[in-house]
A and B are shown apart, each in its own frame.
Chain A
Amino acid sequence: MSEQSNGRLLRLTVEEIESAASLSSLSGDFASAATYLVTSRGKQIRSSLLLAAALAGSDPNGQLVRTAAVAVELFHLATLAHDDVVDDGRLRRGAQTVGAVYGNHASGFIGGALVARAAELISECGARPTRMFAQAASRVCAGQMAEFEDLFDAGRSAQRYYLAILGKTAALFELAAWLGAWLAGTPSRQVKTLASFGREIGTAFQVADDILDIAACETETGKRRAKDLEQGVYTLPVIYALASDEALSVDLPQTFSEDTRDILLERIVRSGGLEVAARDRERHFENARLALTRDRGLSVECVDELALLLDQVMARNVSPATEMSH
């Protein structure tokens, strides 16, 4: 995805994140690798979501809200560093990864240190947020593992796919929305609404990302096309393609290579898997929107801010290239 600012959205400053990460105690190469990771200006969707959800409460600008936003962002950065090791990815956000530049030890230890720092920050927010944070972290890991378990499984079901992404992606979005709402003193009914908003937008976000991986060309996403497919991760469009093209379930795991990639991608596109997946994506975006409009107890400010966030996520993740003409 290209680097864009979040426009008018509430967001943390890079300095805020960097100083909270307290990287100064790290030495040498590790310090520069960590600084590189932290300042590489991510989209900060998760912390923006947290800050926006806080608008539903009576104290949206409290220090704890801010602290939790930083914690969520640091945790996300940590997962990026560790994902690099898992994916052995060489391209992220159009730039070199920490792993590619500094090695896997740097990714591992910096990611570990950032997780630890995030956990320390969240413990300042009280017992309940600490518990929720720990559980979300655990769900992220379990989701990752579920995906790992399904590698190269042409029989992977949509249900298994959702099990994995609910953990690895949606859990953190849900946590962010919950933390923002809860720490700002939002009534419990609205906290629940916002958490489910977070889960839905997170799910839609991941489905959209997976559609882009298959549909978009490299310059658009900054990642090599079909990188997931190459590594044996069969995402939603592929799962739907497999359902309509039985022969693909044999061909895909057995014949995927540099040479056959474009032919297989063409088959996936032709099978209509992308369109079915796009319908799923729209449904989750719609669910998120409905959650906002149905709960009359949310403040106008909060609804507006989250609707803006939703629009920006949709605009960014639904590239025109994926909206194919039939």
Chain B
Amino acid sequence: MTDERDVAVVGAGPAGSACAALLAERRREVSLIDQHAFPRDKSCGDGLTPQAVKILNQLGLATFLEKTQVIEGGRVFLDHRREKVMRYSAGSQGRCVPRAFLDQALLNAALERGARLVQGRAIGLGRDERRGSSTVVLADQGESRTVTARTVVASDGATSAIRRTSGLGSPGYQVRAWAIRGYYATERILEPFFDVYLPLEVRGSTLLGYGWVFPVGEYVANIGVGFLRPRGVRHMAGLRAALDAFLGELRARASRRLGDLESLGRATGAPLGHNFKAASCSRRGLLIVGDAAGTTDPLTGEGIAGALRSGVLAAQHIQAQASGSESLSTFGLAVGRRLPRIGQDLASIARLTQRLDSYTNASGDWRDGIKLLSTVAHIAADPSHELVFESLPARRLIEQLPSSPPIVAILTDAHERLLDTVRTHFPFATPLIVHEIFGEDQLMPSIALTLAASAFGQELSVENGALGALAVECLAPFGTFLARLSDRASTDEERLNNALTILTADFMVSRAMCAVSRVGPTASADLARTAREVCEGGMAEVEARYDMDSTAERHLQTIEQQRGSSIGFAAALGAELAGATTPAREQMRRYGRSLGVAQRIAVDIAELRAIDEHANAVALSWSRGFYSLPVLLAVRRDRVFRRALTARPREDELPALLARIDVQDALDEAAAVAASYVGNARVALERAGPDAPANLVTLLDWSGAPRYDRCARDGEATVGGRS
């Protein structure tokens, strides 16, 4: 038996039914396939956040929700003693609805709008490119059927068969988080809050997760535990043990709130689909949504809002594709943009911390390693960790540009791709990389690339621009990462830091190579030569350590290799992408190299000018024997300074030291050197002769000479300031 439809949606959970309902509303022929007879139970916390409620209302479920349990906020109970209450803001409410009812209501919404329900278990997917259709294979009581449709939406959960058979990899492969829950009758009336209990302990060891009590009615609670799979726990038995331990705790210590608990049925558990990867959300004729796409937050376990949102977006993308305005391939990025990814970033850090923590018997030093990871976690938890383009200092530069190319779109796209890749393969490193790219470098390489391309009269497509931007941004911190290694690691913290640093450096450069290989072999060779120069610069810098008599020329050559080379590469690649001639491209490289050096000097000057703010970083680099240009110039003039530097001053001694000696002349001389590099860049730009050089002139002025005038921070972000 065959059947041909516009869209086949596999799995009638929240993501699938939401998608089917919206498509059917737009008069698309939709088959909604599910193996179960509804209503059916589904292991879940049943919690609907205000965001989830909002989407459900838009899907027409407002009347249904009115009859369900209201939730006013969340409460966190620490060790059954301290309690923290967080109320939802006025006008927004959560709900708590058993999935048996919620999923039935969503399914009804889809069926009422004209979707057709097909019962059967989907076991595979085929694609007929010639006819432009996909075929879902169903196994049903021994016989096999197929449903053929132009587009398939896979919403078949964390163990998605469709995803597995479509070559996008098994989602369950990486599943690390599990949850188990049951329904329990209580003796006391439950208060309308999502209650979360921490810490979660089983047989004396702490699990990374929490226990919850979510009211689904006055006297009925959904009680469960969810955690990242720890050492040793492999099976459902471990899950049940964790739930039993939590119930024991509740009975012993929360009886005042709950009274006795009576089980209303066997508890059931499920893996959480939490490894979202934008690049694995679509194939030709196929979109992956909900748990199958890993949209659940691994730390909070919250999954319904993400699933609904991805289902809604899938419907929108299919509609937009039909009208030709959007291709399905951008679907993953669109979903990723709307998911809070911080849980994903933190989860792996948390897991390693947990394991190292349990390893202290053998080597006490591992505790130091935890410090590093908690620093990483700290950076990850910083709000600036998520890319908010509006808040970047570079934004102010872009506002000043005489003409404005599609720079924001290109940068946003490039960084979303980068972060998606990093989060998938290198979750630990995400915070470090974000910190590196958005912290010090101010996106200068990708800005140089984009402006260089547009100067030659070529508006880069977002696709090409993003590839180039990805390549130059991934390459730029290579040398910085390598220079950050501790040369002779003596503690486990240093060793761990070294390992993470070098893995990150290599991964970044390999991503740069991947991106640029799609531009062409010439660009690839160019990138390789630049990477080598960066390393040579790094070696030269290491060799010059503690050498106060190193000449300015040598120092300048080193920073040109380390820093100038990658900005030069970026500018040259931009020119190449815009189809500039070879001589013009080489002049653009010179422009970029000089720009990079001038920028570096400006940053170094700014550090000494505002020493109160930068004392930490400056003291650290002096203690490691790295001296900037103004320092080398000042040492030559001032014996006191020389002696002080030899004694390796501490962070808190720096402001007094710099007040005592006169570094003004040295700073002025360094500024003059920077100005000469700006001049060189200007000459190279004239020789390159692009049609519209105005933006590149502005970039030069912005990142070169004038910066040290702006270095005293007025509470505002300082361009080029290293914090």
Contact = CB atoms under 8 A, between A and B. Distances in A.
Contacts of A127: 517, 520-521
Interface in A92-120: 103-105, 107-113, 115-120
Given A105-B482, A120-B528, A154-B231, A27 B539 contact: yes
B3 to A, nearest CB: 36
A119 B520 CA distance: 13
B514 A134 contact: yes
Q: Which of B351, B486, B503 neighbours the largest number of chain A CB atoms within 10 Å of its CB? A: B503
Contact of A138 (B487, B514, B542): B514
A218 interface: no
B164 interface: no
Given A127-B517, A138-B514, A253 B358 contact: yes
A155 B528 contact: no
A113 B532 contact: yes
A13 interface: no
A108 B361 CA distance: 31
A29 B543 contact: yes
Q: Which of A88, A112, A232 neighbours the largest number of chain B CB atoms within 10 Å of its CB? A: A112
A152 B502 contact: no
Contact of A86 (B503, B513, B516): B503
A254 B428 contact: no
B9 interface: no
A203 B360 CA distance: 33
Q: Which of A82, A145, A163, A254 neighbours the largest number of chain B CB atoms within 10 Å of its CB? A: A145
A105 B488 CA distance: 9
A247 B507 CA distance: 37
A120 B231 CA distance: 43
A62 interface: no
Contact of B513 (A25, A30, A119): A119
A123 interface: yes
A120 B525 contact: yes
B425 A255 contact: no
Contact of B540 (A27, A133, A148): A27
A44 to B, nearest CB: 22
B498 A123 contact: no
Contact of B230 (A130, A137, A155): A155
Given A131-B517, A152-B231, A257-B362, A88 B498 contact: yes
B543 A28 contact: yes
Interface string A116-154: 111110111011001101110110111011101101111
A292 to B, nearest CB: 26
Interface residues of A, number: 61
A109 B505 CA distance: 11
Contacts of A151: 352, 355-356
Given A112-B535, A145-B425, A134 B517 contact: yes
B659 to A, nearest CB: 34
A104 B355 contact: no
A140 B514 CA distance: 13
Interface in B320-366: 348, 351-352, 355-356, 358-359, 361-363
B231 A109 contact: no
B658 interface: no
A105 B485 contact: yes
A152 B355 contact: yes
B233 interface: yes
Contact of B234 (A137, A155, A254): A155
Nearest to A248: B232
Interface in B531-555: 531-532, 534-536, 538-540, 542-543
Contacts of B425: 138, 141-142, 145-146
B36 interface: no
A4 interface: no
B450 to A, nearest CB: 22
Given A86-B502, A119-B531, A148-B499, A137 B513 contact: yes
A217 interface: no
A283 to B, nearest CB: 20
Contact of A85 (B483, B485, B517, B534): B485
A249 interface: yes
B68 interface: no
Contacts of A146: 425
B608 to A, nearest CB: 25
A111 B356 CA distance: 28
A85 B496 CA distance: 9
B173 A149 contact: no
Interface string B593-619: 000000000000000000000000000
Given A27-B539, A108-B502, A255-B362, A123 B229 contact: no
Contacts of B531: 112, 115-116, 119
Given A115-B506, A127-B517, A130-B517, A103 B488 contact: yes
Interface residues of B, number: 67
Contacts of A163: 173
A286 B555 CA distance: 57
Given A104-B489, A138-B514, A30 B539 contact: yes
Given A119-B531, A141-B510, A130 B524 contact: yes
A113 B173 CA distance: 35
A325 interface: no
Given A137-B513, A152-B358, A112 B538 contact: yes
A318 B483 CA distance: 39
Contacts of B77: none
A251 to B, nearest CB: 10
Nearest to B229: A155
Interface in A230-255: 232, 249-250, 253-255
Interface string B76-92: 00000000000000000
B511 interface: yes
B359 A152 contact: yes
A142 B231 contact: no
B355 A120 contact: no
Contacts of A29: 543
Nearest to B514: A134
A26 B483 CA distance: 16
B527 interface: yes
A155 B233 contact: yes
B713 interface: no
A165 B319 CA distance: 42
A256 B366 CA distance: 13
Contacts of A113: 532, 535-536, 539
Given A86-B499, A134-B517, A254-B361, A109 B539 contact: yes
Interface in B459-505: 478-479, 482-483, 485-489, 495, 498-500, 502-503, 505
Given A103-B487, A104-B488, A120-B528, A109 B507 contact: no
A146 B229 CA distance: 16
Nearest to A30: B539
B507 A149 contact: no
Nearest to B356: A152
Give 4 closest A-B pairs by Cβ, nearest first.
A116-B532, A120-B528, A134-B513, A119-B528
26 contacts: A26-B536, A27-B539, A27-B543, A82-B502, A88-B489, A105-B485, A108-B485, A108-B505, A109-B539, A113-B535, A113-B539, A115-B531, A116-B509, A120-B525, A137-B510, A137-B513, A141-B425, A145-B429, A148-B428, A148-B499, A154-B231, A232-B355, A253-B231, A253-B358, A256-B362, A257-B363
Interface of A: 25-30, 82, 85-86, 88, 103-105, 107-113, 115-120, 122-124, 126-127, 130-131, 133-135, 137-138, 140-142, 144-146, 148-149, 151-155, 159, 163, 232, 249-250, 253-257
Interface of B: 173, 229-234, 348, 351-352, 355-356, 358-359, 361-363, 425-429, 478-479, 482-483, 485-489, 495, 498-500, 502-503, 505-507, 509-511, 513-514, 516-518, 520-522, 524-525, 527-532, 534-536, 538-540, 542-543
Given A109-B542, A112-B532, A250-B232, 6 more contacts: A110-B535, A117-B532, A133-B517, A141-B506, A145-B428, A232-B355
